Structure 1
């Protein structure tokens, strides 16, 4: 029977859309990309293997023609699509409406090769609702070849960069490493920030803080103020100091108070009264935030929900495919008329007409060369479901709620109020004229802040809804100081990037595309260039070696400016204003203006790999250096007899580079990893107890006898944060080895234990875990206290979905993020569509993206999980299908 064949990317999307289109349509998934450049020698077509450019999969000598192949695990699926196409009278390519989606549609068309009498239509939509899908099917368009060419240029550019530079890293740094046009620059940003922290020198400065009494007629009567000037000179603040710990040259006329002078000033002001020298009152107005686009969603989900960029995009993908939100890869902040009306209706309904502006708000995109005609990320449909109406749980509920609140708030009135600044002056007994300043803000109408307040990246940042009330004082009024104190401060090194701030930095520098930031961060984490300490991104020493090589030998390719310029070039190709072959030729071969990548690689000459991997600690003359070795970083220093680099010690994996000081190095030399400190014998078991420095920090463990039973494991326990190898005693070790401790049996019969985990101390009852405030509580928490902790409800929606144990990156087949989760039957990997159990002999810590992808590929070959047949339903007999071995197919780009 003839039908219209609709092809989308994912099975979940296919099921939803198939339900909307109904009879006459067959909706099938391509399961992500169906064709790509060869990924390995095994995938490379025989006819190009012997070509000088064969390993690239791109004919650099012939117009940069790419040679595409269908991966082995996709060939049977391509056969299925071709079979469905034989009975179709129309073909709809309904992949996402962005460059990558357009390229997938073109690859499908080029590979399926429909007959000339079958109409081929490009079907696009920004949300998966019945109305949007029906409208998209009724109003198809043609394939946009300029978008296809721009995506192809990006793919070829990234292939040339990665395949030419990565082998240099393998030879000179470490095997298995990778370089990437944007990933390497993102790594450099993290390394540069750590370099700033290493070079940072702390400065101290003091000021005075007071609580002032405005008299009983005022409300509030008491208010805070801080010392602003002394004899007309501004008092130094943290921002006045440079990274070298000295006052900046631009701060002439600034007074730097030390402790002695600050405390003397407090004494001299003991009997001083103050007059109000000025009062400035200004109207305060704050407009709503624009609706979410990809990067702002990732940043807010990180700040408010603690989600990584990859988890955010994975959850958003599920919400989009199931019809809850619009497309989540977008640079746009615009809303359709229907969405604006839906948001305004909910403002009036939920908050009242006084919160509704007279006219709809329009937001213009601030992103340079914002691509494609998407809307902002918003709830799907012409009317919005409130979070409670969705039936969602867990992360999907939390992310939908965030998107819904932001969208509704974007159509609300401004927040208004007044900001006030008061300056108080007085004369100290020692003769100095001092001025204190107080600033306040009162919001008289909260407007959109009633619905949504944006998060901050630092605890020191003031949120938009914060208020500080000051008394209604007038110039000339007299106040007294209820208390004065000298406050000391220390300057802080520049904060490390978090996922949210790194995304913001990449976007501000116009590096890469917003839709790729999640995968870029996933890549640099999975490659071991960067690791997380809390939410901070810390570079490994390996990243220092890689970035040093690239800076010294590929300065143009690793520069921030060049990488940003390449995005402009790709946008010019997409707009038809630049030629793909010309731009690729200049990048690869060079021109009169610039030296290309190929000449750089061919002319590298000798590179001192040892020098690349060596970094002095505490200055060039300290005699201590760090080296990045095959098995990780280690330090070398002078031996007891003065012999250079005679001592060695491993550097813990979780020790940030800026914390590896000369003092820390001496501590590591004193207690090198692997060296055992014998504490004595356990009073009960008689086993020897030793303390060691391990990969995850210091710990104590038992030494089992040689005749120990097979499978018997030594008890091991990490030292508390308050302990060190120098001070830990046998009593401490014996106590630590009693963990986990049984606290008692709860009223419901479940046993509660106190345990110390990777992320801190916690209670465990069945599968329900609750954090403890301190490690000491592991020994002191009582059953009554534990039951009180469990009596507190968990935050709404959080218990439904456990956080991933590990994030590995994008699956090469589905394109979706692969995460490791703990399930009822053990740990497993998932891309959201398929789950694959991790073998018992494989550890979660040692699991790589490649291994996880292989597990999923094997699971995918078995097809979807079988559904349980309902009782009473007839069993259907399926015919056995014979697998045919398909020839390796290669496809060139159509001319």
Structure 2
């Protein structure tokens, strides 16, 4: 980044001092910028030259400020605002909105339209008058034009349903559904309120330095005299440092010519920052601007790149993985035309033309797959088929015919430096030095690609890997080694060559996972032999004659006697517990459930939804966050040490949005059938048996149509859930 030391607004040559917007993404000044670049020495020299000199107000410029309300929500703006204000991902937003729509609280949530019906406008204006007064209600209803290209406006904007809007308090909603409904309700009501008005002021203060240079400083302020719609709703920003619309900046009352004294003059360093990583909100905005996909597909697009591991979340930022670089490199090199931004946008235009009946689908598909020279087209161009110029179509078959020519190793390799190469393999990314026979080391899945330096790669390669030879088991004479496996570090014995590994006579080597207190670097032969001695026979219960053993299991150390087990408090007890202690433990009533609660691993704060304290705990299936009501398991990319409160709240909110797991009624139905079948034989009379058979046949015949009705209802429910029904 280029350092821009800036203090004076103008130099003696009259050029404005450069700011962040004058630099390009490469950190260099943009060409043609008429600005003065002050380095640290020049800035400090100017500050020293201005010390103690008199200043005066050169100009005071005041302009009226006016801000109009934001349009009602459409799908993309709802996803963006829910991400900024509520921390919802696009998928979660649509899941919650779907529930609100299905339960009759909002209108259809997949729409490009910002238009409100006359009923909705009347309802919104009525609530403005009721909640804020007539002073906040404009004389005429407001209408909003869509700015989306090829907008699909079959539905109106997303708004509270009905001809009278229910306030959030009147809905009885809770949690995520309440918060999203409140956001939609506020935005809709605010869209029918008056503008916010005020004054924006720019004050310029000038002084002459000791060496005769003229320096001018400027400050801008804003005063809102009537808040208007800002009383109800203020839109969020993707940049956390950006100023919101309702923020005022008040400047002292000064007039042109007023003399001023500078109490302090400093030279502050400013470095240009790289563009911020995409969040879900900013990515949705970018997809819409580039005309990639549709509002209804943005959530699934983001969900797909997350689920496939192309990106991972670090806080709210979406970070590309090494896998994504390999995939993008493959597609750009071998299928460049298909992943071109312009191709995607033009393809959307083509599909819209086909949908409007202005183009034919079969000729378009034929040319897309076979190419322009396909004999079935008869030499006709794409324009003749009603598909525009069609330059972006054709030849998919040719592209995919010879996939064997693609060098998979080449497209998944990226040079790091100093003969170190990063490769993306089947089981994740790794660094390699010295070719196939050289050094290798795995790269953490959650490492951002821009943080992999030569120094870090060397550090990863220097870490011990492979088998750690610990020594020889004196009892068997077999070598004992420690390894880092797929499910964690473990110790095992090496069987002699020729030992059968498959079939009836197969011999399995003894294997044991390392305890939590052990590591590959510190484990010794004695430790390994103790682990391989498990399960350890503690003794025999004199009352039942059953053998009691101490073992290490998936959920920790425990005692086992037949089918009865008891948890041990520590891993060391597996080697030290005596028969008397084991019998005393079995004499106690077995604890059901969790037993004594473990202390939390980390405290995150108070959840904004449930208003309960959120902590990280260690559970049977790994660490999880909980507020006492909802539990959410940490994802692969989450770490107990680095997880933030916001990430914890997000995981809990996602779990709440999914709702409890639905239980099927199949078992209950099966039990009823069994009970009925058992009761039938108790009837003795032959006449009663015949009657019972007839009754059963009649009941079965009557129930058959009910199944069809139920099936129809289910299909209708699915149709609504899939977004094919409208309000």
Shorter-chain TM-score tier: 0.5 to 0.7
Q: Which moved more, 1:502-511 or 1:707-716?
A: 707-716
| Contact 1:229/1:435 (8 A) holds in 2 | yes
Flag the 1:238–1:828 CA change in 2: closer, same or farther, 3 A: closer
Match runs of 1:236-385 below 5 Å: 236-251=18-33, 253-385=34-166
Partner of 2:662: 835
Whole-Å separation in 1 of the counterparts to 2:659 and 2:700: 29
Displacement, 1:290?
0.3
Partner of 2:600: 755
Flag the 1:475–1:801 CA change in 2: closer, same or farther, 3 A: farther
Displacement, 1:608?
1.2
Partner of 1:487: 268
Taking structure 2 as the reference length, the TM-score comes to 0.67
Q: Name the SS for the 1:486 alignment partner.
A: coil
Flag the 1:828–1:322 CA change in 2: closer, same or farther, 3 A: closer
| Contact 1:206/1:258 (8 A) holds in 2 | yes
| Contact 1:636/1:645 (8 A) holds in 2 | no
Match runs of 1:816-835 below 5 Å: 835=662
Q: Name the SS for the 2:77 alignment partner.
A: helix
| Contact 2:630/2:652 (8 A) holds in 1 | no
| Contact 2:198/2:226 (8 A) holds in 1 | yes
Whole-Å separation in 2 of the counterparts to 1:672 and 1:238: 45
Gaps of 5+ in 2: 374-390, 471-481, 489-513, 519-526, 535-549, 558-594, 617-625, 637-649, 673-694, 709-727
Partner of 1:513: 294
Displacement, 1:246?
2.4
Is 1:447 aligned to 2:228, yes or no?
yes
Partner of 2:544: none
Whole-Å separation in 2 of the counterparts to 1:250 and 1:861: 74
Flag the 1:644–1:803 CA change in 2: closer, same or farther, 3 A: closer
Taking structure 1 as the reference length, the TM-score comes to 0.55
Whole-Å separation in 2 of the counterparts to 1:561 and 1:572: 16
| Contact 2:20/2:272 (8 A) holds in 1 | yes
Q: Name the SS for the 1:341 alignment partner.
A: helix
Q: Name the SS for the 1:263 alignment partner.
A: helix
Partner of 2:427: 631
Partner of 2:613: 770
Partner of 1:651: 443
Whole-Å separation in 1 of the counterparts to 2:152 and 2:169: 33
Residue deviations 1:548-607 (CA, integer Å, cap 9, x gap)? 111111111101111111111111111111111111112211215553211211145611
Whole-Å separation in 1 of the counterparts to 2:334 and 2:362: 25
Whole-Å separation in 1 of the counterparts to 2:145 and 2:252: 40
Q: Name the SS for the 2:313 alignment partner.
A: strand
| Contact 2:176/2:657 (8 A) holds in 1 | no
Q: Name the SS for the 2:517 alignment partner.
A: strand
Q: Which moved more, 1:376-385 or 1:656-665?
A: 656-665
Structure exhibiting the larger radius of gyration computed from Cα positions: 2
| Contact 2:136/2:228 (8 A) holds in 1 | yes
| Contact 1:272/1:427 (8 A) holds in 2 | yes
Flag the 1:352–1:573 CA change in 2: closer, same or farther, 3 A: same
Partner of 1:119: none
Whole-Å separation in 2 of the counterparts to 1:366 and 1:398: 27
| Contact 1:553/1:604 (8 A) holds in 2 | no
Residue deviations 1:769-788 (CA, integer Å, cap 9, x gap)? 6358xx9xxxxxxxxxxxxx
Whole-Å separation in 2 of the counterparts to 1:492 and 1:864: 64
Whole-Å separation in 2 of the counterparts to 1:753 and 1:762: 18
Whole-Å separation in 2 of the counterparts to 1:657 and 1:278: 50
Whole-Å separation in 1 of the counterparts to 2:117 and 2:186: 17
Aligned residue pairs: how many? 539
Partner of 1:607: 406
Instruction: Kindly indicate whether structure 1 or structure 2 has the higher relative contact order, using CA contacts under 8 Å at least 6 residues apart.
Output: 1
Flag the 1:675–1:564 CA change in 2: closer, same or farther, 3 A: farther
Displacement, 1:205?
2.0
Whole-Å separation in 2 of the counterparts to 1:505 and 1:467: 29
Partner of 2:177: 396
Whole-Å separation in 1 of the counterparts to 2:408 and 2:427: 15
Match runs of 1:195-210 below 5 Å: 202-208=1-7
Displacement, 1:644?
9.3
Whole-Å separation in 2 of the counterparts to 1:645 and 1:419: 68
Is 1:663 aligned to 2:455, yes or no?
yes
| Contact 2:630/2:655 (8 A) holds in 1 | no
Gaps of 5+ in 1: 1-201, 209-226, 679-689, 717-749, 776-793, 808-819, 837-858, 868-875, 885-895
Is 1:702 aligned to 2:501, yes or no?
no
| Contact 1:634/1:648 (8 A) holds in 2 | yes
RMSD (Å), alpha carbons: 4.1
